[in-house]
Amino acid sequence: MNSFDKAQVSIQQLAKILRQGIKTKKKEVLKKIYNWQYINCIDLWVKLISANIRDHDLQPFLYTIIQVINGVVCLFPGPRYLPLRLKCIQMLNQLSSSSGVFIPVSSLVLDALEFIGNNKQDEKLGKDFDVSAVLKVPKQWLKLKYFQEELVLSLIELLSVHFSQWSFHISFPDLATFPLMRLRKFHEKITAESLRRPVKRLIDQVQQNVDFLQKKRDDAAFSPKDLESIESFVQIGTSSGNLPFVQYYASVVRKSLPQGVPQKESTQEQIVSIKQQKEVLDKSPIVVIDKVKEASSIDGRKRKKQRT
């Protein structure tokens, strides 16, 4: 059995366990999914696919692992599993960035924000709490201020990563329309200034990028059928990194860095990463992955055909 077959067997096994969980909803089966062994196995294949998809034909693995990740999110929609959702969104962002495939993760982020409310001051949870170190949290933590602040900042960072990947694309104004509506609604709902401030800044920066690209679109002389002109449109601002959202994303990255990490170099690396994303898009068609129904229906008949 070669490495391709081993990867196929492993990823299919992940999909099989997920299907059992979706079908039966039995507690013992669900425990096999929301644990670090299962999630780290998915993460392993995400990293392998991301590192090699530009040099090898890994499209079948890509689509299957995306369906598995979305299936995990749909299987555990409750607020106690928000850290698990964050991990899944992070993996989807990584796959989207490396492959040039558009994955609509904004709804996953915005749905998570619906669980955030106006709650009492945090008096129990320590400041050293790391939301990325757990998959499920106790119910009482959901009302703690510090936990909610960490959650909102993590969600903003993930949404910023997603937007930064497409901030130069001609479709960005359309892509950002509905998320902006939901972000403004969330901003009106919350009263805590520590939550309102970062959300408002994200809204403003996304809107600036929308206005910038919308003006470029209005000035464009080509029609939507002119694919060559549309492909060249994405070159706007990428050579110098001067798009409004690129600068904002760089500041988000700086704030998320651990203390002691050189900020200038890391920020420059992020801008370079955005340029590399543009290069990926130039070399491969944009494919949209629908998260709603495909996530919970990994077709066994297709896998049978692959084996034959």
Count Cβ atoms below 10 Å from residue 149 Cβ, excluding itself. 16
Q: Is residue 38 part of a domain?
A: yes
Looking at the structure of the chain, the number of domains it has is: 1
- Rounded distance, CA 46 to CA 165, Å? 17
Query: Which candidate, 12, 83, 76, 77, places its Cα nearest to that of 45?
Result: 12
Greatest CA separation found in the chain? 59
Q: Which DSSP category does 102 fall into?
A: B
Cβ neighbours of residue 64 closer than 8 Å, sequence gap 6 or more: 11, 12, 15, 298
Q: What pLDDT, on the 0 to 100 scale, is given for residue 303? A: 39
pLDDT at 197 (0 to 100): 92
**Residue 99 domain flag:** yes
| Cβ pair 284, 100 in contact under 8 A | yes
Residue 243 lies in a domain: no
Residue 75 included in any domain: yes
Structure tokens belonging to residue 217: 């679109």
Q: What is the pLDDT of residue 69?
A: 97
- 182 inside domain: no
What pLDDT score was predicted for residue 4? Answer: 79
71 phi, psi to nearest 5 deg: -65, -40
Residue 298 forms part of a structural domain: yes
Question: What pLDDT, on the 0 to 100 scale, is given for residue 281?
Answer: 46
Q: Which residue, among 129, 38, 138, has the nearest Cα to 88 in the 3D structure? A: 38
Which domain does 70 fall in, by range?
1-103+288-308
Predicted local distance difference test score (pLDDT) of residue 282:
46
pLDDT the model gives residue 272: 44
Q: What is the pLDDT of residue 121?
A: 53
Q: Is residue 68 part of a domain?
A: yes
Residues of the chain with pLDDT under 50: 239-240, 259-272, 274-275, 278, 280-308
Interatomic CA distance for residues 272 and 267, integer angstroms: 9
In a domain, 7, yes or no: yes
CA distance 98 to 273: 10
